[in-house]
A and B are shown apart, each in its own frame.
Chain A
């Protein structure tokens, strides 16, 4: 990259379900914590990008009243109506343009104020699918899971195993919303049947929260303690779900190829120490292993069975519990970047994986991961 850009601070609220914890207070909490961590004040020069959603917030131009808590008054704040990982890309670009040295990135939403699965239905084609009321995020994911299982012989037990791993990992994360120490695939498979093969515990649970990170270049980055450098990024947008092969995550694969090329990653398994993968459903993590080049096409199930992605494996995935631990729309992918940075900085407490130097984080937006973002991060 033209300029070296680092993550120099981060903050997350606990992920929970509390309609009274207004989005303003959640954003204020993370913006304050992230800015104060690096001694920034509102009068300092920085840019702000928020990730939030008009439909989820129930108001048009949902960032209008986030100007104050996001410390964005009179700044060139703008928002992305997508996952917060896109806000991080946008902030990175503003820094790479040379216009700013510092960017504050914030993602937030409050599941306890919207009708849980209805905003997702509004993603689908309003001239056909939406009105037929058959496709929603879960049924669409189930169609993808079946296509994937059928193409490569992946089993329900393997998918349930991913959910169990992430629920158990989440039990070490004090911020996680859904956690279950010692979760087993049997437990996941015996949870409420939704759309086969998906059961309730395979679903990333919508909840409330906000998270923030500060990106910096130049002097701010140089003087920062424990900067986490952005080594590579990529993003790609695929077709609507009925118009593409569902058995693979093409947008994630394309995003990873770009990010790896930028970061000089040729053999991810040996060069990457940890990954935080935005999995809205357990099978997406298996598909993600393939798209991220951790294993070959169709080998996601076998790669999981090898134990490689467990806490003590050679490439732990979602040590935080991932999205299955907490899913705040517009913040989930950004939280993956933050969790990867926390691991590199060695600040993950009970969920720390030893010796993380290079980490991959992903974000996604749209049904069946229509759009994907990949970040490659590295320590000193």
Chain B
């Protein structure tokens, strides 16, 4: 590049650094994941404005209040937005083609005020579509126990 300093071709050395983090999901998400083990979908509720968050949130952004109330939500919800994914981010950080396109949806559960991003079964989606949660208590990674959605009808 034009930095004005010509030091010739520099052999590119790669120095991989892989710091490991052990995230705690915290008490709220623990309770959410424990619920999914029993097939229950639990949202947190703000004691002041009554807004329900799914996935649960610890603090209400509107009220600056701790969301210490809980509600059990139905499996049903509505597609707020969707995308047909042709790619995914590979381990090297580049977008690699999927063998088969898949749908990612933003779903607002009935009774919730926030959305869940998840996979939708099948190859068709539309905004406003009614969907039903697919729960997999045996999921290899517990974050995938709310495995995705399927069309409700």
Residues of A within 8 A of B (CB): 13-14, 16, 18-21, 25-26, 28-29, 58, 114-118, 121, 125-129, 131-136, 138-139, 142-147, 150, 192-198, 239, 242-243, 246
Contacts and interface: CB of A to CB of B under 8 A. Distances in A.
Contacts of B2: 13-14, 29
Contact of B1 (A26, A132, A144, A198): A26
Contacts of A118: 89, 93
Nearest to B107: A242
Nearest to A126: B23
B134 interface: no
Given A194-B95, A195-B85, A25 B104 contact: no
Contacts of B20: none
Given A116-B93, A134-B119, A150-B127, A14 B1 contact: yes
24 contacts: A13-B2, A16-B1, A21-B1, A118-B89, A118-B93, A126-B21, A127-B55, A128-B29, A136-B89, A139-B85, A139-B104, A142-B85, A143-B83, A144-B81, A145-B83, A146-B82, A147-B81, A147-B127, A193-B87, A194-B86, A196-B86, A198-B83, A239-B61, A243-B61
Contacts of B4: 29
A330 B140 CA distance: 37
Given A26-B3, A118-B93, A134-B104, A20 B85 contact: no
A16 to B, nearest CB: 6
Given A131-B143, A134-B119, A142 B83 contact: yes
B137 to A, nearest CB: 16
Interface string B16-57: 010001010110010000000000000000000000010101
A243 B3 CA distance: 44
B95 A128 contact: no
B82 A143 contact: yes
A209 B17 CA distance: 23
B86 A134 contact: no
Interface centre among B53, B55, B117 (most CB of A within 10 A): B117
A185 B137 CA distance: 46
B75 to A, nearest CB: 18
B1 A13 contact: yes
A123 B12 CA distance: 28
Nearest to B103: A196
A336 to B, nearest CB: 22
A101 B6 CA distance: 36
A345 to B, nearest CB: 22
A132 B143 CA distance: 7
A121 B89 CA distance: 9
B117 A134 contact: yes
Interface string B100-119: 00001010000001111111
A250 B33 CA distance: 32
Nearest to B127: A150
B50 to A, nearest CB: 15
A131 B17 CA distance: 20
Contacts of A116: 93-94
Given A29-B4, A121-B89, 15 more contacts: A21-B1, A26-B1, A115-B92, A115-B93, A116-B94, A118-B93, A132-B117, A134-B118, A138-B87, A138-B95, A143-B82, A143-B104, A145-B83, A150-B127, A195-B85
Interface string B113-147: 11111110000000100000000000001011000
